[in-house]
Amino acid sequence: MSDKPFIQINDLHHNYLRHTPLEVTALHGVSMEIYKGEAVGIIGRTGAGKSTVVQHFNGLIRPLEPGKVIVDGQDMSDPKVDVRRVRQKIGLVFQHPEQQLFERLVGDDIAFGPKKLGMERAERRERVRWAMEMVGLDFEEFKDRFTFSLSGGEMRKAALAGVLALQPEVLILDESTSGVDPRSRKELLERLLTLHKEHGLTLVFVSPNMEDMAGLVDRIYVMDEGRVVMSGITREVFSQLEKLREHGLGVPQVTEIAHELIARGMTVEHIPVTVEEGVEEVWKILSS
């Protein structure tokens, strides 16, 4: 991990429908840092401002004064910044995949980014094949399917493939795996974690569900009402049950069970956040 953040946001404020009676303040001074090679979670209940924050990461929303967004050393307020290059480095998979898909055929949609980059036809085809395989969409079966005929889960996969096809350095998933069945989701996440571990892909997962984050991310930012209200390594954040509840969040059931056991006087060495860790702890208790 390098010592300088790859993405740094500082004191971000954002209002939707500015200067109208319907104005909404979505962010009240949010700061975060994402380092190269990390897997970071951003969680918070609905309306917390998560999607608004991550749209600043790749220049979809420009920072308002005095907020700052620095990506790979570049100040995103600078009008000279090449936003297209930033979006190639930082791939954002939208919360609603239908906002991301616009070509008639699935294969064309996934090829759109590589085509814009000027990639040759043959190379493009291989890139599309690779991206589709990464998300678990069979190339031959799906490349000529109509985009609008996909199921919700397949749409999410196609939207993710379209972003992966650019081989970004940072991948941001805005709850984009929900709506996919549990087995596909697990497979998808395993593939992304392989890219993360073996190729250094930086991951940012956005979700309202703590259970989704367990075993995935090293570090977590908790947001509520447009602010970062907690942050730290996953296990530490998960250990603050009461505070999380105040912000409308729960912890994985296995973590809750461990807290309950401790409250009843049992010794639990490491608070588990995944089922595997839970099994380990139960095993230790039973064999002691």
CB of 48 or CB of 70, closer to Mg ion: 48
Residues 138-197 that bind Mg ion (CB under 5 A): none
CB of 148 to Mg ion, least distance (A): 23
Asked if residue 178 lies in contact with residue 184, where contact means CB atoms within 8 angstroms, the answer is no
From CA 133, how far away is CA 188, in angstroms rounded?
Answer: 10
From CA 31, how far away is CA 54, in angstroms rounded?
Answer: 12
The 10 Å Cβ neighbour count of residue 155 is 22
CB of 163 to ligand ATP, least distance (A): 18
CB of 42 to Mg ion, least distance (A): 10
Spell out, one character per residue from 195 to 234, where the chain touches ligand ATP: x when CB under 6 A holds, - when not: -------------x--------------------------
CB of 171 to ligand ATP, least distance (A): 17
CB of 92 or CB of 258, closer to Mg ion: 92
CB of 43 or CB of 163, closer to ligand ATP: 43
Q: Kindly give, in sequence order, each residue whose CB lies less than 8 Å from that of residue 97, ignoring residues fewer than 6 positions away.
A: 152, 155, 156, 158, 159, 176
Residues 34-53 that bind ligand ATP (CB under 6 A): 44, 46-52
Nearest to 29 by CA among 44, 15, 47, 45: 15
Residue 151 to residues 37, 97, 145, 158, 180, Cα–Cα distance (Å): 32, 11, 11, 10, 10
From CA 275, how far away is CA 288, in angstroms rounded?
Answer: 20
> How many angstroms separate the most distant Cα atoms in the chain?
65
Q: Which does 16 bind (CB under 5 to 8 A by kind): ligand ATP, Mg ion, none?
A: ligand ATP
Part in contact with Mg ion (CB under 5 A); list of ranges 33-41, 43-51, 192-200, 264-272: 43-51
Residues 50-109 that bind ligand ATP (CB under 6 A): 50-52, 95
Residues 57-116 that bind Mg ion (CB under 5 A): 95
Strand partners, 204: 40, 172
Spell out, one character per residue from 1 to 20, where the chain touches ligand ATP: x when CB under 6 A holds, - when not: ---------------xx---
Part in contact with Mg ion (CB under 5 A); list of ranges 48-56, 76-84, 124-132, 135-143: 48-56
Dihedral of CA atoms 275, 281, 285, 288 in degrees, nearest 10, equals 140
Asked if residue 32 lies in contact with residue 6, where contact means CB atoms within 8 angstroms, the answer is no
* Secondary structure of residue 51 in the 3-state scheme: helix
CB of 95 to Mg ion, least distance (A): 5
Interface with Mg ion includes 51 (CB under 5 A)? Answer: yes
Binding site for ligand ATP (CB under 6 A): 16-17, 24, 26, 44, 46-52, 95, 208
Binding site for Mg ion (CB under 5 A): 50-51, 95
